[in-house]
Each structure stands twice: as C-alpha cells, then as structure tokens.
Amino acid sequence: MSDSQISHHWQPLADYDSPPESLARPELVNLAEIWQEQRTLLENSDGLKSFNDRLRREWAIETGLLERIYSLDRGVTQILIERGIDAALLSDGLSGQDPTRVAAIIRDHEAVIEGLFAFVRGERTLSPGYIKELHSQLTRNQPTTTALDPTGKLLEVPLLHGKYKVHQNNPTRPDGSVHQYCPPEQVASEMDRLVELHLTHGSVSPEVEAAWLHHRFTQIHPFQDGNGRVARCLATIVLIRAGWFPLVIRDTQAERARYLDSLELADGGDLSAIVGAFAAAEKRAFVQALGISGQVLRLTRPEQVILAAKDLLVERERKRQLEWERAKETAHALKGLAASRLIQIAERLTKETRNYLPGSNFRADSEMADGKRSGWFRWQVIETAKQLAYFANTEAHREWTRLVLRSGSQSEILVSFHGIGHEFRGILAVSACFFRREQTGSGDREVVEVTPLSSEIFQINYLESLDAAQARFTDWFEEVLVRGLELWRKGL
C-alpha cells in the first residue's frame, strides 16, 4: 500500500506532547470538591445507591451502542437504565437482533463496571494482564469478529478473548484510505510501555490522564475487536480512582461525533478536544449527582436532627447558603460581560449592514435576576435544557441577556443564567440558544426553531474565582456567538 493511501501512520507510543497541566479543566476540581461534601451526607442513602446503579447500567448499555455491537431505540435504552437489564424489555427495541444475546452482552458490560470499582477499592495496580482480563469479560458473548488477511481481504475469525490480535485491524475510511494501528508483532511491547508510562503520571489531573490513557491505548488497538470498550474502561479506572464517575459517552449524534472527532484530533497531536469531551461527560455526572442531594436530604432531615445537634446543622446550612451566593454573584458579573459584548455585536452589525439591509434593526437587551422581565423566555430555556438533558431551575435564579436580529424576519440569540437541578446547591448554568419569531395568521409572533448554541452548558460553581470563571466563559461565549450569527446568516 502506498503512503498516499494511508490516512494515519502508526508510530511507537509517545508520552504527553505538551505539559499535561495545560490541558486540565480546573472547574472539575471545584465540582468534585462540592460533590464530596454532599456525598458525606448521602452515604448509605437509597437515593445515592439508586443513582449509582442507574449510572452503571447507563455505562454498560452505552459502551456497546457506541461500538454498534447492538442498536436500541432511545426509549428502550432509558427503560433499561431505569428498570435493569432484562431481555423481555428489549423485544420491542431491537430490529433483527436476538434479545437474549444482547441482554447477555450488556450484562457482561455491567459485570465489568462493577469489577472496575472492585479493582479500585482493592488498590490494585494496572497491568497488561488486568487489561486482558477486561477484554475477556467484555467480549465473553462474542464468538467471532472480522479481520484482514495478509492480502487485505476481510475474513471472519474467532475472537480471541483476553489475547492480543494476530491479524491487522486497520480500518478503511470512507475515502478508501487506511488508518494504521500497531502491527501485531509490536503489541506486547507497546502495551508494556503504555502501562509503564501511565504509572509515572501520578500527579496528572484525572480528566487529562483518562484522555491520554484512552487515546494511547486506541493507537495500539491491541485486540482484534473490543478496543473501544476496553479504552473506556481504562479511562473509567482513572476517574473513579479520583472519586469521580464512570466515563459515559452517550450514543447521540452530537456526542458520538464529538467523541470520534476528538480521537482523530488526538491522532494529530492535539489531546485538548478529547479532554474536553471527557470533562463534559464528568460535569454532567457531577450535576446529576448534586441534583439528587437536595431530594435525599429533605427525606433524611428529621433523622439528622435527632442524631446531631440541631443548632450545628442550622449554622452549617446558613454558612453554605452564604457560600453558594458567590455563584449568583459570578453569574451576574458574567451576564454583564455577555451583555456588553452583545451591544458591541449589535453596533457592528448596524454599521456593516445599514446599506445592504434597509429596515433592519439590531439591538441587545438584558434583565437582572430581580427584574420584572426576568421570567421571560422560560419556555426557550426549558426547551434548550431538554435538548441538553438537564433540569433548568428558573426559580433558584434567572437573569438573561439577548441579541435581537431583525432583518425582515426576527431572530434572537438568548443567553440565560439559571439554576441546575431541583434545589440550588451552589451550581448555576448558562445556556445559549437561537430561535426565530414567525408571524402567525392572527398577527402574533410565534417562537420556532429553538436551537442550543453549545453542546454543553457553561457551569458556574461557588468555589471558582471570578477571574477563573471569566477566562472560561469568554471562550465559551465567543463560540456561542459564532454559531448563533452563522444560523442567522443562513436565514437571510
């Protein structure tokens, strides 16, 4: 095969290409600290156990969906996460697949995630032998896979459970080019090197090390099949060893594309995208976990009062409420920054288009948390939250800023600052969406096409300094503006 037919050339394993601390996401440290504080109050509660059980089932299901081992309707996936892995629940969600076999594969995955927690609790050291164990457990119910013979022809071969590949497994891309992985004869030494390097990375931030270990493992691709699932196991070990959550990459179009694109960028030496994808998954898990704490604590409060000194609990809660107010102060400051930037954009649009869009009008508008109009746009905020899979609490806090783009029809870019989860626990969200207003027959303007402008919300937590939050927010907000203005431009 000529070099022109190879899209990616395999290279022996390399350590970090840039200082790992430059890739870290400091906001995750703050979220982890907040979660650990809440977790001490939730230990042994049914709410926490139920949350952890659902999260593990989600990991077990989604890791196979990503690899296209089976396919499930989204509704069936949710039912399995909530109720448990049962072949009877799969019957209506599969097309031409054996429910019993699919359920068996998912149960294998579920047993593996349980084993990862046991591995970490036992303080075992990662080794090539344990990685082989993982592969054997993950693929127990998969007898065969495809491989390439020396001539490049595809053939069906037995899947060697827990053993390194003996055939090449280089995938062919849609354009006909080939992505090279480690040749079979180099796998054992490369895996030894992978583990050796990982064990020297003791001080690296969890999301960074998880991304590095995952990516470098996939570059080797040591097994004939099942490498993606093993890679996510390795990343999960790093995360749960830090007291964080299993890595759940959901099989949605946007999340899958982000995950695969970030791996390709990492092949080119840029690890930041995959770190960002893993950080987003962890932030989602932290927010979901913090969301259960308020509900559980409401149920257990009488027992806590009986078992502890009431005055101490009241004082502790009062101090926490004061600490949490810092998040609202940060949100208000960031809203001011966003509003100022939107004013600049409106003025620039007016100047640049006045000769080409007669009758157009561009303006920025804002409302404070206690303002009479703070409750506006609740439907758009909730619709955006639904699409991003979180609960938007507009009672805990709500303020907004927007850019109105009137050029024949009217479009708007809305940036909303509000709570996350059913109770305010010192975490706030910033969401951004684009929508249009269409004239109806009755003369009203109906809101249509509510589109999130970021694949993840911007999170504000009470432990982060304003300077640190501003630095993160500036990058996030500029990307939001580019996407929003591009949607407006396409509608001209």
Last residue of a domain, one of 288, 306, 334: 288
Whether 150 is covered by a domain: the verdict is: yes
Whether 159 is covered by a domain: the verdict is: yes
Taking CA atoms, 277 is separated from 25, 113, 256, 382, in Å, by: 11, 20, 10, 23
Are residues 335 and 266 part of one domain?
no
Are residues 484 and 416 part of one domain?
yes
Whether the pLDDT of residue 303 is over 80: the answer is: no
Are residues 444 and 399 part of one domain?
yes
Tens of pLDDT, residue by residue over 176-231, are 888 899 999 999 999 999 999 999 998 999 999 999 999 999 999 999 999 999 99
pLDDT at 173: 81
Last residue of a domain, one of 248, 273, 288: 288
Are residues 59 and 154 part of one domain?
yes
Higher-confidence residue of 37 and 401: namely 401
Place of tokens 């580019």: 482
Whether the pLDDT of residue 95 is over 80: the answer is: no
Looking up residue 114, the CATH number of its domain turns out to be 1.10.3290.10
Are residues 48 and 193 part of one domain?
yes
**Residue 359 half-sphere exposure toward CB, CA atoms < 13 A:** 4
Are residues 366 and 405 part of one domain?
yes
pLDDT at 290: 81
Whether 362 is covered by a domain: the verdict is: yes
Are residues 358 and 269 part of one domain?
no
Whether the pLDDT of residue 311 is over 50: the answer is: no
Whether the pLDDT of residue 318 is over 70: the answer is: no
**152: left (phi > 0), else alpha (psi -120 to 50), else beta?**
left
Residue 316 banded pLDDT, cuts 50, 70, 90 = low
Are residues 458 and 378 part of one domain?
yes
Are residues 232 and 179 part of one domain?
yes
CA neighbor of 232 nearest in space, from 183, 173, 281, 159 = 281
Place of tokens 């390439």: 148
Question: Is residue 72 within 8 Å of 58, Cβ to Cβ?
Answer: no
Are residues 218 and 327 part of one domain?
no
Whether 413 is covered by a domain: the verdict is: yes
Taking the whole predicted model, whether its pTM rises above 0.95 is answered as no
DSSP assignment letter at 173: P
Whether 394 is covered by a domain: the verdict is: yes
Whether 194 is covered by a domain: the verdict is: yes
Whether 296 is covered by a domain: the verdict is: no
Are residues 223 and 164 part of one domain?
yes
Mention every residue, 6+ apart, whose C-beta is less than 8 A from residue 474. Answer: 337
Whether 295 is covered by a domain: the verdict is: no
Can you tell me the distance from the alpha carbon of 290 to that of 249, in angstroms, rounded to the nearest whole number? Answer: 19
Share of the chain above pLDDT 70, in %: 91
Q: What is the mean pLDDT of residues 407-423?
A: 91
pLDDT at 323: 80
Whether the pLDDT of residue 305 is over 50: the answer is: no
Least confident of 82-86, 270-274, 441-445, 455-459: 441-445
> How many CB atoms lie under 10 A from the CB of residue 166?
12
Can you read off the two tokens belonging to residue 467?
């300077």
Higher-confidence residue of 386 and 90: namely 386
Number of domains observed in the structure of the chain? 2
Residue 45 banded pLDDT, cuts 50, 70, 90 = confident
Last residue of a domain, one of 237, 270, 288: 288
Are residues 32 and 76 part of one domain?
yes
Q: Which domain holds residue 348?
A: 318-490
